[in-house]
Structure 1
């Protein structure tokens, strides 16, 4: 990649896509093209083909996807598999037809089996059944990953894939009902602080372990691989360490400067006890995460205060 290469970031408004945009701009890439969903519907084949024929990008980051929490995944499985498959198939085939030099496909660590050994290695893909609640989304992402590998195998393309762990950071979703645990806790602690609440109630025992990666670290890994890796492996992108939900809550409490008590509602479910990615493969090619959890939460809370609260 050189600084004048034409780069298309699909999904540039989301948590991942916006982080990739920041990283590209910080690195001096000058020729980045984007389209909002209103300007380009990636589920429509003719629109995608016309866009690629007109723009002829050199490099593509495919960060666009239909995403949601457990409730949305369980309620709308047909939408999650069909819309994600449409996006992926349209973009991957258009990349091939228009001689894109390199494509990066972004998936999710939810592609792995529900009972995968911990930490989760890339080799554990398709070794046992998936988690039922997000099976449709996971199957779509597995298909996208495999499509990239099969295009490389059959046509000699240069399409690579990454599977991130739980992400958080700038442009995260703080809606509450549909947000993930980390932004949901930031919102909960901030509101408790503003309302002078004496305590914050957290679902479950606080003992389950989770791995979190700041979105800008993911973007750094994506650009590193686009510059330095060509092959048919795919990569876990994670922090490689985990914290309990209780430890996470205590860090957020400190960052928000909330003085009340934590109460764990043990009548509520804990969810999956542990889900840690093995990041040995990407470390072996020269990349490691840089932003520790407390620093990332501070950056996220600062953004939340300036862009959501303000």
Structure 2
């Protein structure tokens, strides 16, 4: 990307979008286009068309999405399907119409079949049933991948897709019900420490394995892909190693300074048993994550404390 290029980051206030903005600014890009959801409703086709007509961005990072954890995905199934498909359809189509030089669409590791062989290779897409709890979100993201592939095949658009593993970091969502597992645990242990609660209860058995990538590492990966990746097939972005939820819980317990005990509620759902990404395609290109998990959790916890999120 040329330093003078106009770059639109859709979803710039979210965890992923803000990480991309920080990476761009750190690298010397100064013409970054940002719009809040109140300024531009990406679900509104006419509004997105007007925005592209007026701004004419050269490059687009599509990080805007409706996201959430198991509870949110299970509860708001229609919203997750409709809103995500609407957002990405409008942005991808207008990027084609207005001649955007390159677009990067960001998905999620939940696109893979629930019982796909581990680690998850890009070729495993659509080879089996999805995890039921987040199926609507996964289907929306798969549609985005296929849309980028279709616009590339039919119109020659340089639209690429990247599938990050589980993310955490600055500007994460710490909602008590609608957040993902790592930020949810940060909040739960912090509140238990403040209120001197003797026990923290965690959903599930603690045995599922998860991989976690610090969001600012993803931001750097997105810039790397914009500069170095031009293939139709989407590419995994992760760290290539995972750990049990139980081990994650004890790590966050130590970092937050909580002194009580942990109890796992096996009557609650675990979700997918394992989600480890095969990141060999990305590492072969020359990119690897820099932030280890304890360091990243400490940075995320500092951000949580700085935001003074109410109990």
- Shift, 1:87, TM fit: 1.3
- Shift, 1:215, TM fit: 0.6
- Shift, 1:150, TM fit: 1.4
For the residues of structure 2 that align with 1:99 and 1:85, how far apart are their CA atoms?
A: 21
1:59 maps to 59
1:86 and 2:94 aligned = no
SS at match of 1:188: helix
- Shift, 1:71, TM fit: 3.1
Pair 109,257 (structure 1): closer, same or farther in 2 beyond 3 Å: same
SS at match of 1:263: strand
- Shift, 1:23, TM fit: 0.9
Tell which deviates more after alignment, 247-256 or 201-210.
201-210
List aligned pairs for 1:1-310, cutoff 5 A. 1-309=1-309
Tell which deviates more after alignment, 172-181 or 202-211.
202-211
Residues matched between the structures, number? 310
- Shift, 1:259, TM fit: 2.3
Please tell me the root mean square deviation across aligned C-alpha atoms, in Å. Answer: 1.5
For the residues of structure 1 that align with 2:78 and 2:249, how far apart are their CA atoms?
A: 34
Query: Does the CA-based 8 Å contact 2:68-2:180 persist in structure 1?
Result: no
Unmatched runs of 5 consecutive residues or more in structure 1: none
- Shift, 1:86, TM fit: 1.6
Q: Deviations over 1:232-272 (max 9, x none)?
A: 12111112111111211121112112222223334444332
Q: Deviations over 1:167-196 (max 9, x none)?
A: 111111111111111111111111122122
Q: Deviations over 1:51-99 (max 9, x none)?
A: 1111110100011112223333333333222222221121111111111
TM-score by length of 1: 0.95
SS at match of 1:202: strand
Query: Does the CA-based 8 Å contact 2:131-2:271 persist in structure 1?
Result: no
For the residues of structure 1 that align with 2:97 and 2:268, how far apart are their CA atoms?
A: 51
Query: Does the CA-based 8 Å contact 2:149-2:159 persist in structure 1?
Result: yes
